[in-house]
């Protein structure tokens, strides 16, 4: 999926913490078109309505399903498995990071995050995927 010069990349944020949702929206809105969902089920419902983001930014620890399960579900889907996913987590367990990357996450960022680094990571992932799409 490529984006014209006057369009912003669409980023779907999946995060259950309301203050962090607000913060992520504020940080990302200048550079990206942002949609925020508070849980994986509402995110999947939004996707199933025909909405296709250029990238998904997903918290690892979500209600009902963890980020690893969410990545695996996306990877099994023919419709969504090409959407790059950046995992965001407060967990620093190296095995969690490795499992998420092995399952298909394009990047893994630790909370608390540095806003410029977050934007840089998302932009970098988007640049890499545009080459191959």
Which fold would CATH assign to domain 9-132? Rossmann fold (3.40.50)
Residues 19-66 pLDDT 10s: 999 999 999 999 999 999 999 889 999 999 999 999 999 999 988 888
pLDDT at 131 over 70: no
Other C-beta atoms within 10 Å of 23: how many? Answer: 14
Domain boundaries, the chain: 9-132
What pLDDT is attached to residue 1? 53
pLDDT recorded at residue 132: 46
Nearest 5°: CA angle at 52, between 83 and 27? 80
The pLDDT of residue 110: 94
pTM of the full structure: 0.91
Residue for token pair 């809105």:
29
Look at residue 12 in the predicted model and tell me its pLDDT: 98
Q: pLDDT per residue over 62-118, tens digit each?
A: 888 888 898 998 889 888 999 999 999 988 889 989 999 999 999 999 999 999 999
């Amino acid at each position: 999926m490529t984006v014209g010069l006057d369009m912003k990349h669409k980023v779907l944020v999946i995060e259950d913490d309301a203050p962090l949702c607000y913060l992520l929206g504020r940080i990302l809105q200048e550079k990206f078109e942002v949609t925020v969902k508070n849980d994986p089920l509402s995110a999947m419902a939004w996707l199933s309505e025909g909405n296709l983001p250029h990238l998904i930014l997903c918290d690892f620890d979500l209600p009902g399903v963890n980020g690893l399960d969410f990545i695996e579900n996306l990877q099994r889907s023919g419709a969504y498995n090409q959407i790059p996913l950046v995992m965001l987590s407060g967990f620093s367990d190296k095995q969690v990071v490795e499992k998420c990357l092995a399952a298909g996450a394009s990047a893994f960022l630790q909370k608390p995050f540095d806003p410029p680094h977050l934007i840089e990571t998302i932009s970098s992932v988007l640049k890499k995927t545009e080459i191959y799409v």
